[in-house]
Amino acid sequence: MEFGGFKHLVIEQDGAALVVTVNRPEALNALSQSVVREFERLVTQLEMAGTDAKWPIRGVIITGGGEKSFVAGADIAEMNAMSPDQALAYGQSMQDVTLRMERLPLPVIAAVNGFALGGGCELAMACDFIYASERASFGQPEVNLGLVPGFGGSVRLQQRVGVGMARELIFTGRRIKADEALRIGLANRLFGSVEEMLDAAKATIAEISEKSPTAIANAKSAMHSMIHLSVEEGLAEEARSFYQAFHTEDSVEGRTAFLEKRSPQWLGR
Ligand code: CAA
């Protein structure tokens, strides 16, 4: 699959990973409407790839171009010219991208190399998990603009760090450094340099690419759909997913290969 014609997203394949770099240096990679449209197009292409085991890409890494920023948020200059109705459409279009990212059959890792503020923090939280370099910082500073999060932050920050911490961060608009993001569970891992972080993200995707694509897609989908559920409902969802896994050829292959003491040959179905 070709990823041509993008202006603000630099898209490169590296082994099993598709590395997507948001590149709008003049605005610290803020998510203008045209960047949102490019994300819509990218997600559509990734959805089409499905779980085909022959497709070489088995995971996506999202990072920011330049030295300073992952993504500094929604584009404040563009928002300044929007009517409330236009702002609603803008917010909902990026919310839709974040939902579709969560539903992709592929894992998506945010590799946060600098400012992840407002819409940038929200983009990172729509990824499956977050790696951070030492220069990363996170925050939902919308209150400083008299606004509130609009790309999913009110929901996902509560899920990631708990109700109390999310409220404190959103009410104060405070920016936190990478070590605090690690401590509160927003970031999974912290790295001394951007290069180290990107290498680790690629290594994680290489590790995941050794597994059955259907099992990964199944695990991701089940975990996202059970996040709002009670323990009882979540267990029912897990049982459904476990049952469904037993219908896949990959699960037969995985068990058989284990018992035959050989590496599995995944089919992606
Ligand atoms: N939108 C548009 N332009 C932005 C931007 C944004 N979110 N963030 C930075 N820029 C622009 C600046 O205007 C500046 O442009 P000029 O050079 O033309 O003046 C350029 O990027 C560099 O920024 P600074 O000079 O401000 O750089 P700095 O290092 O001094 O500060 C910063 C960096 C702390 C990130 C600061 O730029 C900042 O506070 N940015 C805004 C962060 C923010 O509030 N994000 C949330 C936006 S609202 C939102 O995201 C709503 C939502 O949930 C949907």
Distance from Cα 35 to the centre of ligand 1, integer Å: 15
HSE (CB half, 13 Å, CA atoms) of 169?
28
Residue with the smallest CA separation from ligand 1 atom 12 is 27
Residue with the smallest CA separation from ligand 1 atom 20 is 27
Distance from Cα 70 to the centre of ligand 1, integer Å: 11
Sheet holding 59-64, edge to edge: 9-14, 17-22, 59-64, 108-112, 129-133, 189-191
> Catalytic: 238?
no
**Residue 221 DSSP SS3:** helix
Per-residue model confidence (pLDDT) at position 51: 61
- pLDDT single digits (tens) 25-37: 999 999 999 999 9
Return the ligand 1 atom nearest residue 115 CA: 35
Q: Are strands 176-177 and 129-133 parallel, antiparallel or unpaired?
A: unpaired
Tell me the pTM: 0.93
Per-residue model confidence (pLDDT) at position 180: 98
CB of 152 shorter than 6 A to ligand 1: no
Per-residue model confidence (pLDDT) at position 90: 95
- Say how far residue 225 (Cα) sits from the centre of its chain: 16
Per-residue model confidence (pLDDT) at position 47: 92
Helix ranges (H only) for the chain are 33-49, 76-80, 84-103, 119-125, 153-161, 163-172, 178-183, 194-208, 213-225, 231-245, 249-259
Per-residue model confidence (pLDDT) at position 237: 79
Distance from Cα 71 to the centre of ligand 1, integer Å: 9
Query: How many whole angstroms separate alpha carbon 171 and alpha carbon 157?
Result: 12
Per-residue model confidence (pLDDT) at position 119: 97
Return the ligand 1 atom nearest residue 69 CA: 35
**Which residues of the chain register pLDDT less than 50?**
none
Per-residue model confidence (pLDDT) at position 200: 98
Active-site residue, selected from the candidate residues 142, 180, 195, 196: 142
Distance from Cα 151 to the centre of ligand 1, integer Å: 16
Per-residue model confidence (pLDDT) at position 231: 76
| Token pair of 262 as six digits | 């050989």
